[in-house]
Chains A and B, each alone.
Chain A
Amino acid sequence: MVVASLAFVEFLVIILARDIYLNGLHIYTLGASSPDLTIPENYIVPVRIILEVDSMSIFMAIISATVSLAAAIYSLSFMKGETGQNRFYTLLLLLVAGMFGMVLTGDLFNLFVFLEIASIAGAALTAFRTKFADTAEGGLKYIVISTVAALMVLFAIGIFYAQYNLINIGALAHVMQYTMLDKIALVLLAIAFMMKLASVPLHMWCPDTYSVAPASITIMLVVASYACLYALFRTCFTLYGVSPDMVTVGWIVITLGMLTMFVGVTMAVFQTDIKRLMAYHCISQTGYMLLGIGVGLAVLNRPEALNTYGIAAMDGGIFHIINNALYKGLLFLTAGALFYRTGTRDLNRMGGLAHKMKWTTIFYIIGALSISGIPPFNGFASKLLIYESVYRFNPILAIVAMITSILTLASFTKAFYSAFMGAELPEYQEVKEVPKSMIAGMAILAAGIIFFSLFPGLVVERLAHPATEALINQGAYISGIMGGGG
């Protein structure tokens, strides 16, 4: 049932994506007599809850749908034997709903509500396997961080409402005055989303939560954190847009991106817990996205620089989101497969598993090569876009990004040798390949990686570039709400 409904959602999202690529932005007003009626009669501002979908939103929705589908199929076998299966899948669908709500909504308060829905469902799923001692700890860390972040978002919404009596993103952007209070609200929103995104220096919860959650939930938490990345971009580009302060904001995002990238990977090199290692890499990869988008932000009000390399950097950053969701998801699922058969996440206690688990090994190699940016895999395509454009912005940033990539390769090679290579260990004589549904879940993501590796140009042109255009084009989003007035 769950798998069927998620497959149907994926189908709907792809149809909607094609429609948006052809016809542009879509709007749906909840509770109105006509879906286009964003501003009710006798009112001058939009008061209803509005869903507003443009290329960037649908790009995130595609990621959420694909990864959730893979996660649900994977869970069929992975969670077998756990009690309370019904509740598990209910929470899983709630998490999916939260992610979709966050990326499709056009209303700030709605964003807060869906952020909380996703957080509560995510934390409950993290702590779902209560038989392990450490799961509740990971779940508690996640929910505490989420609650603090969400309350900061709510406070920022309060500041906006106090000034403009509006909570609609497009309408707020229309009347934005860039007062001191607006800057405070921007800081609050940025800190809150960075907290949820596990950007350094607020990354401490991330390895703990990601490593104890069931593997299929970990990949959904990764996507949920990218929904927060989307919210951050929406705030910076659509809500605030072109203003002199954006250069400063852009540099802050770049600096945090570099720190995130480098601290993440250096912490990862020393880890012996396989999922913890991957969680630190996850932090590190987020840095690439922040770097690409930060460069775009910093040059937003310099049109010639934006056209020569700013847009390419943003394309790279956005393309990297979907690539990372795919290969990081695949790697977490292979780690889950190892845990499923060996009962440990400790790399020092694994070895020689390539003899027994051939499919898992193949999937791990695909994922590891892709995350390290080895051509011809898709990680290389997006990283190359980021390197090239960032090099023209500031060469030092590009060099740090390349060093990070090398360290990533080093640490995944280490993990590969300890888990898969070497002689067969006596205690793993009975280990065999994981059940079919887990292979199917991994195969969906691996197929996505291979497709993106074969046709990176197509994906950038059809998915990533329209998303960038949608972010830069603030006027289109506003006029969607305010009815052509712009």
Chain B
Amino acid sequence: MTQGIPFNVPFLAVAALIGIAFYIIVSQRNLIKLVMGLSILASGVNLFLITLGYREGGVAPIYTHAPAGIMVLPVPQALTLTSIVIAVACLALMLSMVVHIYRHTGSTDSEKSRIMKG
């Protein structure tokens, strides 16, 4: 971490992102906002993984022409990359479903567009 920023700050950001995301998912009735909440949740978890792998003053873990010194951990970055790809697929699928719901019911409000009950 660069000088002056305590090491905990990224973790606080993770907690804030996940907290905001859960608040949005639970409280918002608009389906688009729900999808945005899920996207924020995914970002929070990705940030968590990246922060775990960070080592102070580390360089990117590429062996070719690497400068001397420590590297950050490569595994969390690989995990995050996979997770980002998956999150994009989920996001696209969810948005397309919201579009279909809107076409059929004329609303993206989860209370008004709801068909099934009980």
Interface positions of A (Cβ within 8 A of B): 47, 109, 112-113, 116, 119-120, 123-124, 127, 130, 133-140, 143-144, 146-148, 150-151, 154-155, 157-158, 161-162, 165, 167, 207-208, 211-212, 270-271, 276
B93 interface contact, C-beta 8 A? yes
Residues of A within 8 A of B41 (CB): 147-148, 151
Q: How many residues of B contact A (CB 8 A)?
A: 34
Residue of A nearest to B83 (CB): A154
Cβ-defined contact, B114 with A116, below 8 A: no
Contact A158:B42 (CB < 8 A) given known A116-B90, A140-B31, A140-B101: no
B100 interface contact, C-beta 8 A? yes
Residue of B nearest to A212 (CB): B116
Residue of A nearest to B78 (CB): A109
A112 and B25 alpha carbons, distance in the complex (Å): 21
- Per-residue interface assignment for chain B, residues 97 to 111, with 1 indicating a CB less than 8 Å from any chain A CB and 0 otherwise: 110110011000000
A47 and B31 alpha carbons, distance in the complex (Å): 40
Q: Which of B86, B114, B118 contacts A137 (CB 8 A)?
A: B114
Minimum CB–CB distance for B75 against chain A, Å: 7
B49 interface contact, C-beta 8 A? yes
State the 3 A-B residue pairs at the shortest beta-carbon distance, nearest first.
A136-B100, A133-B104, A140-B97
A244 and B110 alpha carbons, distance in the complex (Å): 44
B9 interface contact, C-beta 8 A? no
A119 and B45 alpha carbons, distance in the complex (Å): 18
Cβ-defined contact, A120 with B89, below 8 A: yes
Q: Which of A136, A155, A271 contacts B97 (CB 8 A)?
A: A136
B113 interface contact, C-beta 8 A? yes
Residues of B within 8 A of A134 (CB): 115-116
Contact A123:B93 (CB < 8 A) given known A147-B38, A154-B83: yes
Residues of B within 8 A of A271 (CB): 118
B79 interface contact, C-beta 8 A? yes
A380 and B45 alpha carbons, distance in the complex (Å): 45
Contact A127:B52 (CB < 8 A) given known A140-B94, A143-B90, A271-B118: no
B10 interface contact, C-beta 8 A? no
A150 and B45 alpha carbons, distance in the complex (Å): 11
B28 interface contact, C-beta 8 A? no
Cβ-defined contact, B94 with A127, below 8 A: no
- Among A124, A144, A157, the most chain B Cβ lie within 10 Å of the Cβ of A144
Residue of A nearest to B98 (CB): A140
Residues of B within 8 A of A167 (CB): 75, 79
Q: Which of B45, B86, B98, B114 contacts A113 (CB 8 A)?
A: B86
A211 and B97 alpha carbons, distance in the complex (Å): 17
Cβ-defined contact, B45 with A127, below 8 A: no
A161 and B76 alpha carbons, distance in the complex (Å): 8
A388 and B45 alpha carbons, distance in the complex (Å): 44
- Per-residue interface assignment for chain B, residues 63 to 102, with 1 indicating a CB less than 8 Å from any chain A CB and 0 otherwise: 0000000000101100100110011011001100110110
Cβ-defined contact, B34 with A143, below 8 A: no
Q: Which of B38, B48, B98, B101 contacts A155 (CB 8 A)?
A: B48
Contact A157:B79 (CB < 8 A) given known A140-B98, A143-B94, A144-B34: yes
A123 and B98 alpha carbons, distance in the complex (Å): 13
A208 and B113 alpha carbons, distance in the complex (Å): 14
A127 and B18 alpha carbons, distance in the complex (Å): 28
Residues of B within 8 A of A116 (CB): 86, 89-90
Residue of B nearest to A208 (CB): B116
Residues of B within 8 A of A157 (CB): 79
Cβ-defined contact, A133 with B93, below 8 A: no
Minimum CB–CB distance for A282 against chain B, Å: 16
Minimum CB–CB distance for A245 against chain B, Å: 25
Residues of B within 8 A of A165 (CB): 73, 75
Residues of B within 8 A of A136 (CB): 97-98, 100-101, 104
Minimum CB–CB distance for A213 against chain B, Å: 12
Q: Which of A113, A120, A144, A158 contacts B49 (CB 8 A)?
A: A158
Cβ-defined contact, B45 with A155, below 8 A: yes
Q: Which of B48, B93, B94 contacts A158 (CB 8 A)?
A: B48
A406 and B116 alpha carbons, distance in the complex (Å): 27
Residues of A within 8 A of B34 (CB): 144
Residue of A nearest to B22 (CB): A148
Cβ-defined contact, A161 with B90, below 8 A: no
A135 and B97 alpha carbons, distance in the complex (Å): 9
A135 and B76 alpha carbons, distance in the complex (Å): 37
Known contacts A139-B97, A167-B79; 15 additional CB pairs below 8 A are A119-B90, A120-B86, A134-B115, A134-B116, A136-B100, A138-B116, A140-B31, A143-B93, A150-B86, A151-B41, A154-B83, A158-B76, A161-B49, A161-B79, A167-B75
